[in-house]
Amino acid sequence: MVRLHQGFLDNLITHHMIEAGDTVVAAVSGGADSMFLLCNLKAYQDLVPFTLKVAHVHHGLRLSADEDAKFVQAVAHAMDLDCYVKYSDVATMAGDAGKSVETMGRSVRYAFFNELGGKIFTAHNRDDQVETILFRMLRGTGLTGLGGMYDVLGNRYKPMLNISRAAIETYLNDEGIAYCTDETNFETHYTRNKLRLELLPHLKSCYNSSVDEAILRLGELARQNENYIAAHVNGYLKAHEREGELDIEIDDDYFLSLVLRAYFKQFNLTEDLGKMQMDAAVNAVRRAKSLTISGTVFDSDGGVLRLRRDAVPVETHLVMGRNDTPFGVFTVEELESAVQDNETQPVVVIAKAKIHGDLVVRNRRPKDRFHPKGMVGTKKLKEYFIDEKIPRRMRDRVPLLCDESGIIWVVPYRKAAGYDSEDVSASDLVRISWEEL
């Protein structure tokens, strides 16, 4: 049994990464970093009981990848652990999707890890953190990207971010732990490899021998600032979001972009959102236009942003007396004496003979039309809503009183023509009132 690395143990405890009964998915490529991760997680099982799964992805990019997969499976078997291997043709998938091999490989890996269920542990180390921050700086990142990787983010755990690659290799050699070497790690046509093999050594030799520490300090400061800002953004969301609808009456464009990003994150839509996309989102909101984020459509109007959803059909049949519906209380009663039909109030009086079939109250449907009283001909319900300046966010909630022929009353706005109660005796009338919840 190998010894548990003290720094690894400290990170697990400090960040409350594993509790008794958890399921942990260890991403194991077979390389030095992932073998360090796996062996230490296995050793930690002696202290805390949890389920440990080994996950390996064969990307189909190297001939030696076959041997890596066999190696990982053999190690898992020796440890009496379940091992899950996914085989993918990442190069072809990347070409079909118009993405880089690195981006597609990452998507394939995390999709697979999530399928296995549990907490996902990856072997990113201190050197990876330096490279990540530097890489993002060169691309022109914002404050969030400048912070680098987090120890814990959602169901993703990185317990080695303060452990250097040199320390990892020393541990493996001391414990006699074998590992695989990926020959592509030394090929400089990959950007991350060029950073590690060329740029960082140049910065150390010519500018700052402690550039690693300087970059990590910058990342830590960025994370502290990000956490402070995030607290204010989350506070705004908590105070100004109701049932998925967000109040977006924010004067400052930068703060609005942060709020929008946090809002979109709730729908898992921030993976590919850069500054250009967020600037476009802010512009659309300012102009009260709809916007599309990763194929998902949002509507903005009246200072409110909401996800565009196809309305779920809601329909309630009305009977005589009180009717409790999702839209409020509708009361149907026969009249004992004549009353004036007052269209400015939430009540209509209809001639019984004009009603065809059952009375129902429902929400809108595609292609709904009706004939507003006092107007010539029918019109689309959508156009009526636009003319009446009824906000888009409210239109699915407007109750429609209908019979088998169509819409009788757009509650409480307009009665339809053809249901007049004039010159009809009171005993032949029905009164329908609405009380909003």
Q: How far apart are CA 377 and CA 356, in angstroms?
A: 20
Pairing status of strand 315-317 against strand 360-362: antiparallel
Is 260:306 a contact under the CB 8 Å cutoff? no
Distance of alpha carbon 224 from alpha carbon 350, whole angstroms: 66
Nearest to 403 by CA among 418, 382, 383, 422: 418
Integer angstrom CA distances of residue 211 from 127, 133, 208, 242, 427: 11, 12, 5, 46, 91
Determine if residue 426 is left, alpha or beta; phi over 0 gives left, psi from -120 to 50 gives alpha, anything else beta. Answer: alpha
Residue whose entry in the numeric block shows the structure tokens 């292609």: 367
What percentage of the chain's residues is helix, strand, coil (to nearest 5)?
40, 20, 35
| Residues annotated within a binding site for ATP | 29-34
Strands (E), 88-198: 119-121, 152-153, 156-157
Phi, psi of 364 (to 5 degrees): -70, 160
Kindly state the DSSP code that residue 176 receives in the 8-state scheme.
T
Q: Are strands 51-58 and 23-27 parallel, antiparallel or unpaired?
A: parallel
Rounded Cα distance, 134 and 302, in Å: 42
The Cα 419–Cα 60 span in angstroms is 70
Measured CA to CA, the distance from residue 117 to residue 51 in angstroms comes to 11
Q: Are 259 and 233 in contact (CB under 8 A)?
A: yes
Rounded Cα–Cα distance for residues 137 and 340 (Å): 73
- Point out the annotated binding site: 29-34
